[in-house]
Structures are given as C-alpha cells and as structure tokens.
Chain A
Amino acid sequence: MTDQWPILSTLTFLPLFGALLILVIKDEGEAAKRNIRNVALLTSLFVFVLTLIMWAGFDKNNPGFQWREQIDWLGKGLGYHLGVDGLSVLFVVLAAFLMPFAILASRYSVKERLKEYMVAFLILETTIIGAFCALNALLFYIFFEGSLIPIFLIIGVWGGPHRAAAALKFFLYTLLGSLLMLVGLMAIYWQVGTLDIPVLLSYHFPVTMQIWLWLAFFASFAVKLPMFPVHTWLPDTYVQAPTAGTLMLSGILLKFGGYGFLRFSLPMFPLASAKFAPLIFVLSVIAVIYMSLIALVQKDMKRLIAYSSVAHIGYVTMGIFAANIEAVEGAVFQMLSHGLVAPALFLSVGMLYERMRTGEISAYGGLVNNMPKFAAVFMIFTMANIGLPGTTGFIGEFLTLIGTFREHSWIALFAATGIILSAAYMLYLYRYIIFGSLSRESLKSLLDLSTREKCLLYPLAGLIIFFGIYPAPLLNMLHGSVELLVNNYQQALANSNAIFAK
C-alpha cells in the first residue's frame, strides 16, 4: 500500500511543523502570545481530527498492522517503519485527543516563555504519536526516549518550587530503565538481524535469552508505567510538573509502559512472561493495596491522585500478564480509561490550585455552595476513579478482574479490595473539599467554572460516561489484535510444554 497518503507520518510530524511555525513568531506583546496559543491549539486540534479520520479508516476485522509505511533508514533491519494495529490505534487517538486539553489548560497559567512552552508540548506530541506508531524497535526507542527531552524541560522550567530536583529524578530514573532496554535491543538485533517489529513478533527466541530480554524490557517499562517498587519518582514529578505536564504524563506518557509490555514482552518473550507472571501479580497487588493505603493518608490533593494513579496502574499490569482475552482487553481499556480519568482529576485539582494557590486538602471545604458545576463534574470523575458502574473505570477494572479470576482467583480477590480502598480515599477527598460548610473567608469569593474550564471538563466527563455505558466502539477495535496476541501467546506456551513433555 504505497499509493495511499502516509497518514501516520503526517500525524507524527505535523506537530513539529506547528512548532516550527511558532518558532518563527516574534515573541513580543500580547498579540504574539495569542498567535502562539492559537497556532498550538489549532495544530493539535488538526492532528486530532486527522487521527479520527485514521480511526474511521481503520479496519477492525484485520488484526494485523494497518496504514503501514516503510522506508530504508539506518541500514539493514533498521528501517523507518510505521503502522498501527488494534493495540496502538486507540493510544494514538488518545494522545491526539489529550493534547488540545493540555494546551488549553495552560492558557492563562503559563505566562512566561510561552513560545518555548508550546514548542516543547508540540515536540512531545510528535514523540508520543511516533512511539505508538513505530513498527521498528529502534524507531520506537528513539521516540520513547526522545520524549524525555521536552518533558524534562516542561517540568524543569514551568514546574513548581522543587521542579529542578523533580525533573532530574524523573529523567535519570527513566533513563536507567530504558538504557537497559537498549542493551536488550542490541542483543535482539544481533540475534535476529533486524529490529522490525512484525519480524520479531514471529521470531522464536531461545528460552534463556527470553528471560534476559524480558528483564531488560521490564526494567524500562516498569519504571515508565510505573510499577511498585520503582514508582518513587512519580509523586514528586506529578506534584512539581505544571498541570498540563501532569496531564500528559498521567494521561498518555505512562501508557508507553503498558503498551511496551503488550508490544514486546508478552508476544516476543512468551515463555519468560509466563515464568515471571507471578512476580508481576504480586507487584500489582502490592501496588493496588499499598498505594491505596498511602493515598488515604495524603494531605495534598495532587499527591493523593498521584498515588491513586499508581494503584490503578496495578490493574493494568495484572491484566496484561493474566494473558487471556478478557484480561488483556480490560488492561488496554483500563489504560484508556485512566487516560481520561487521571487527566480529568489533575485538571480539576489544577483549577482549584489556580484559584487558591495551595494543594492542601485542609484548605478547602464546602465548595458545593459556590461551585456547584465543579462539584457535579468532580463527582463524575471521583466515581470513575472508584470504578462505579456506568463509568469507564468500572469496565476496565471489571474486565481485568474477571480475566485474572479465571487464572488466579486469589490474586483477583486481593486486587478487588483496591476498589473499596479507592472508594475510601476518593470519597474522603470529595467530602473534605466539596461538602461541609463554606466557613473560610478566602473560599467564599471563588467563582464557578469559566467557559474555558467547562470546555476542558465537560467533554471528559461526557466521554467517561459514554464509554462507561457503551464501551463497544473501543472494545471492538481491540478485539481482533488482542485475540491474535493471546492466541499466539497460548500457542507458544503449548509448544514449549509439548517439547518438555516429550
């Protein structure tokens, strides 16, 4: 299919074009700032519309890669190869969907160095979309790792008071993980002679090699996702990053980890995955329970949501390595749901922060009296985070739990307690900041949502409910590719068992 328009390359590099346009705007005065904001917003909206076109043209009955583009690049086996399948297409859409929110969210909060800020965000969008479209492992790595540069600057320049330390910690932490993956990629390259993902997917690695490679990739993805116990960078980073940065990090950047497990670890190293699955289950359950308990004692809203975010990622890892169709579909759906809910929560909290300049839970109370609209949408997000039926959170958690239950009922039992705990901390948060009497003087003058803020929160709330009631459009997209993945995985395990049985 060489005659079609290379839509994935367009999607990937269009934001860069927008960044170039912004760079040539002379940064002086309000008019220039308005132009910069508009160019960034329009670029990101345009990319989003393009992803919708791509989504519409996506054949959900074809479990393989679509919209493929392939050119020679860095030599044998290191080509420029793009394509999407059911696993990645929705992440591309999600990334493009979240970007306008990030840009709109920083409309007033970012006043200094606006130009660099928008350029950094657009470069970030390029790296994110590129990573999800890449069908060459080296290309994936380049986008995956390249995203560190813009996000480092976003946190470091426009973050909170301890931003420099947080940015460094985040950068070095993830760098260590991904460099180990890089060694893994080198080993694969010399073993197979190519880093082309479709080729690697059909290659059978020797068992010992699978184990080492699995560990190398695990180092990278576990830090990125993050899993317990390598999550310690996350609370600091989330709290210090500007709201839009947290939005992108929690909404889409972390999904690199889960996507990586699905794209590399599970299909390429099935035997090692089966071997290490118990480890993953234990870590996931610890993440769900322990992080929820930590969230319960937080005094800062952003921190509470950050820990809650790690807890919810526990379901994702558990679902992926339970490796049956329900569980994997649930894991992907949970990532997508988390990609809506976590940004929504961080945006809401960011709006409160912009009004009061504090994240302390104790500084708030009784907001329902003068911010009823905020209270209503925040209720929806709270419920989605708890996993109440009728929201996307329920679908993801329910599917992963029944999928896991089929494999290991005890694991599912422990993981299910996380739902109760999440209800505890989310309701506690909601009760303290929304309900009660409006006793503080400083809170009385707070205004309800502005039009811009409604534009940010209402679509998210609408989608959370819509896909919570009618998840079929998303699940149908996933189904073919997940089925293929799981069947191949089971087949590989059966083959190796047959060999041992002989």
Chain B
Amino acid sequence: MHMDIMAQFMLILPELLLAAGIVVLMLIGAFSGERSYTVITVLAIGVMIAAVIMLITLPLQGTAFGTALICDAFGRFMKIMALTAAFIVLIMSVGAARAGKFDKFEFPVLVLLSCLGMLLMISAGNMLSLYLGLELHSLALYVMAALDRDNARSAEAGLKYFILGSLASGLLLYGISLLYGYSGGHIDFTGLSQVLRKDPPQLGLIFGLVFVLAGLAFKISAVPFHMWTPDVYEGAPTPISAFFATAAKIAAVAVIVRLVIMCFGAAAPVAGSMPAWQQIIVFIALASMFLGAFAGIAQRNIKRLMAYSSITHIGYILVGLAAGTIIGVTSVLLYLLIYAVIMLGCFAFILAMNTESGPVEKIDDLAGLSRTNPFMAGAMSLFMFSLAGIPPLSGFFGKWYVFSAAVQAHFVVLAVAGMIAAVIAAFYYLRIVKIMWVDEPKGRFLAMPKELQLVLWLSGLFTLFYFLAGIWFLPWAETAAKSLF
C-alpha cells in the first residue's frame, strides 16, 4: 500500500492538471478583466481535453493517499464521460452566454472547478474524500445556477438549489457520522463493507446508510428528493441546465454506484428480504420512473419537461443498479453514455430555439418545425423516439441493458413496472414529435450556430447508428464494471 509519493501524485495527474488550470485561468481572468471570456473559455476547453487525453493514455491503477482516492477502470470510464460532456457543454454555451450577458470569465473557471470536484468524487475511496469532492462540485454548481444574476428566475434557481443542496449535504454528512460511529471508526469503503457484512445488521448502521443514500439521491435527483430539479433546470441558464443534465449527473451516478457496490453491496439482508440498500434503490427507482412519467405529461416548458424526463431516466438507471451485479453496473454505464449523448443533443436543440424576439422555451413554439427547419426537427424526433426507447435507436439498447440486467437478477416485477412507466413517458416524447410534424408552423427559428449544428449532428448520428457501433462500447463498460467487484 505504501507507494512512494511521486507514484501517488501520478495517479491524480488529471486532477492536478485541472487544479493548476483553474489557478492559472483565474489569474489570467483577474488581470485581463471582463474581455477575457473567449480566451479563458478556449483555454478551459483545452485543459479539459488535455485531461481527457491523459485519462485515455495513462491507464494507471491503484489507491492514493491512504484510502482517499481510487484509480480504476470504472473511475476512468466515468471521468472520461463526465469531462467530455463538460467540455461539449462549454463549447455549446458560447453563443448563449453572449446572448444572455453572462459571458464572464468566471463561468469557464467555475465549470473547471466543478469538474475537479467531479473527478475527486468519482475516485473517492472513503467517505471524507467523497464528501469533499461532492461539496467542491456542488458549490461551483450553486454559483453557476445563479450565474445570470440579473434574472430573477436564475437567482431563484441558484438559491433553491443551494438551500436544498445544503440540506442534502447535511443528511449525507450526518449519515457518514453515523456510519463512522457505529462501525467503530471506519470511513473507508472496504472497512465499512466488512462491518456491514455482519448479520444481523446494526440499526445505527442502517440509519447511516439511509441518510447517505438520501443525500446522494438528492444529487441524482431521484424521487422523493427531486423537487429542485424542474425549477433549477427551468430557471438556470440553458447551458448550465445542460451541464446539470449531463456531466453533473454522470458524476453523481458514479458516486452512488461506487458506494453501493463497494461499500453497501456486501450488506446482509434485512429480515430475510433484500439488503437495506437494495430496498431503498428499488423504491426510489420505482418512484422516480412513475413520478417522472406522470408529471412530465403536464409540462409545457421544454426545460421542465427535460427535468422530469431526467427523473424518469434516473429511475431506469437505478433499475440497473438495483440488480447489483456486474451486468447491472455495465448496463448503468452504457445507459449513462447513451443518455448523456441524447441529452447533449437535446440541449443543443433547446439552445437553438431562438426567434427574432429572443429565445423561447415552450413546446408549442416547436409547432410545424419539420417544415421550417427539417434538420432540427429530424434530429429532435430521433432523440424523442430514442428516449421513448424505440428500436433501432440508442435508447432502446439502453433499456435493453438495464431491464435485462434487472430480469437476470430476478427483478421481473420491477422490469415490468419500468416498461409501464416507459409507455406513460412515451406519451410526452411523442407529443413533441407530433407538435413538430403535425401542427401548423407558427414562426421560424433563427439559423443555428455552427457549434450547435455540430453537436446536433454528432449526437444524432450516435443515436441513429448505435446499433452498428454500440458493440464497441460494451467491452469498455464491462471492464469498468468489473473493476468495482
């Protein structure tokens, strides 16, 4: 375990790169003032791409600083995904930041800070580093949600997210302290998992576990801790919502997966039924799928709709996690990949919903889009059918992976319930298709900026041709999943 200090620093090279980048960019920004937004954005994207390349080319494994940070295939997979999503969001945000007048240099720096937090929490090997990573990540997000500070809705979103987020952090920390106390001083995942294995499980430990999972459920916006999601998605500037929907979600799911599998996975069953963590995950999966499906029907604002849709999809992801097997974790990773690509496309689409009189967000503003802008409408229809899980689009394969993992682990009822929720949710996806194809056009959108076109093309092609290329991602995800067991 006692590696020399240089080797330990080598393991966290991407994190160090980001940290150094943050400091340097902040200095550049502070000295050159408001005008430096473009330069800083380009540099921030460069730093993130460099970190991604580093993660791909340096497949180092091991633990650093005691049990604090774990570098494994799972972490690499998640980090690459989260960072890639983050820099694509940053690329997409340039136009919107200009138009929304939040083109300040702090924005890319905050994104970097949040990414650093994500990397730390993804590789966290004990409760403290998990908490610290999560807080670094979240504090940056609180500010980002309120970035458009002259806009009351944005300020409200930031405040709401901050207050509820702090509450969740409190729950998490309280849970950690319970686990620490009742386990006799363990904060590292492996140590805790050994204590949790004892049968019958101690009540105090179960309480701790419940609090920790509740705190994390908030971060992934699973029901019943989802209240903030629609308001924040709607209120925050659109690029920030895209960040919430993709990068932040990937990181939060990574944390919950690692914690559940490495730490809680070994826990003894409660009263002859499933282990405590599994009961919780099954419940919040069911609740998320159905609440997201039903509540989405009433939404007319596309960002709110995406928020409810994301709640449903978190439910599906948790179905895969509930299986608690290698197949289950593999399915979660692939689902996240597919979902994140679709979400990037959807948000590129939403960012392009600009009329002469400014950006619009109502789904009725899409009326007749297939006539006025066939490319946008075609891509969005693909995303909607894919989110509804219709083959041969990528979303179908995501569903296939998670639900078949659940069936394999004998959660057939859960799978059937998920299918029913999917039909309900399909209604609002189809309604968007219907509005674009059946209704009469009302107005036109302005021409799409080049960078958004590119993102829309790429994610559209991915969604359409996943059935050809998808097989390549399977071995990566499998290796990543195996590294947790």
Contact = CB atoms under 8 A, between A and B. Distances in A.
A190 B423 contact: no
Interface string B321-339: 0000000000000000000
Nearest to A176: B423
B437 A176 contact: no
Contact of A164 (B403, B427, B438, B474): B438
A190 B408 contact: yes
Interface in B391-414: 391-392, 396-397, 399-400, 403-404, 407-408, 412
Contacts of A168: 427, 430-431, 434
A29 interface: no
Contacts of A179: 389, 419-420, 422-423
Interface stretch (A35-43, A140-148, A401-409): A140-148
A182 B430 contact: no
Contacts of B391: 141-143, 145-146
User: What size tier do the contact residues of chain A reach?
Assistant: 20 to 34
A73 interface: yes
Contact of A146 (B390, B407, B412, B438): B390
Contacts of A182: 399-400, 403, 419
A183 B415 contact: yes
Contacts of B390: 145-146, 148-149, 175
A164 B434 contact: yes
Contacts of A164: 434, 438
B419 A183 contact: yes
Contacts of B62: none
Contact of A186 (B388, B404, B437): B404
Contacts of B399: 182
Interface in A121-148: 138, 141-143, 145-146, 148
A142 B467 contact: yes
Contacts of B438: 156-157, 163-164, 167
A180 interface: yes
Contacts of A143: 391
A168 B400 CA distance: 23
A74 B334 CA distance: 13
B298 interface: no
B407 A142 contact: no
A75 interface: yes
A494 interface: no
Given A179-B419, A183-B412, A189-B404, A142 B396 contact: yes
A25 interface: no
Contacts of A146: 390-392
A214 to B, nearest CB: 15
A330 B467 CA distance: 38
Contacts of A138: 400
Interface in A82-113: 113
B471 A186 contact: no
Contacts of B396: 142, 145
Contact of B471 (A75, A142, A153): A75
B434 A175 contact: no
A132 to B, nearest CB: 16
A425 to B, nearest CB: 33
A489 interface: no
Contact of B430 (A171, A186, A190): A171
Contacts of B370: 113, 116, 157
Contact of B404 (A157, A163, A167, A190): A190
Of residues B370, B390, B403, which shows the largest number of chain A Cβ atoms within 10 Å of its Cβ?
Answer: B390
Contacts of A190: 404, 407-408
Contact of A180 (B392, B397, B416, B431): B416
B357 to A, nearest CB: 28
B66 interface: no
Nearest to B409: A190
Interface in A153-194: 153, 156-157, 163-164, 167-168, 171-172, 175-176, 179-180, 182-183, 186-187, 189-190
B277 interface: no
Interface in B452-476: 467, 470-471, 474
A152 interface: yes
A175 B423 contact: yes
Given A183-B412, A187-B407, A175 B426 contact: yes
Interface string B51-94: 00000000000000000000000000000000000000000000
A176 B407 contact: no
B100 to A, nearest CB: 34
Given A142-B467, A153-B437, A182-B403, A75 B474 contact: yes
A183 B407 CA distance: 8
B142 interface: no
Contacts of B474: 75
A168 B474 CA distance: 34
A305 B81 CA distance: 54
B385 interface: yes
Contacts of A183: 403, 407, 412, 415-416, 419
A427 to B, nearest CB: 38
Given A142-B467, A186-B404, A190-B408, A152 B430 contact: yes
A176 B427 CA distance: 11
Given A74-B467, A176-B419, A179-B423, 5 more contacts: A145-B390, A145-B391, A145-B396, A149-B390, A187-B407
24 contacts: A74-B397, A113-B370, A113-B371, A142-B396, A143-B391, A145-B391, A146-B392, A148-B390, A152-B433, A164-B434, A167-B438, A168-B431, A172-B430, A176-B419, A176-B420, A179-B389, A179-B422, A180-B416, A182-B399, A183-B403, A186-B400, A187-B407, A189-B404, A190-B404
Identify the 8 closest CB pairs spanning chains A and B, nearest first.
A179-B419, A142-B391, A186-B404, A186-B407, A176-B423, A190-B408, A164-B438, A146-B391
Interface of B: 370-371, 385, 388-392, 396-397, 399-400, 403-404, 407-408, 412, 415-416, 419-420, 422-423, 426-427, 430-431, 433-434, 437-438, 467, 470-471, 474
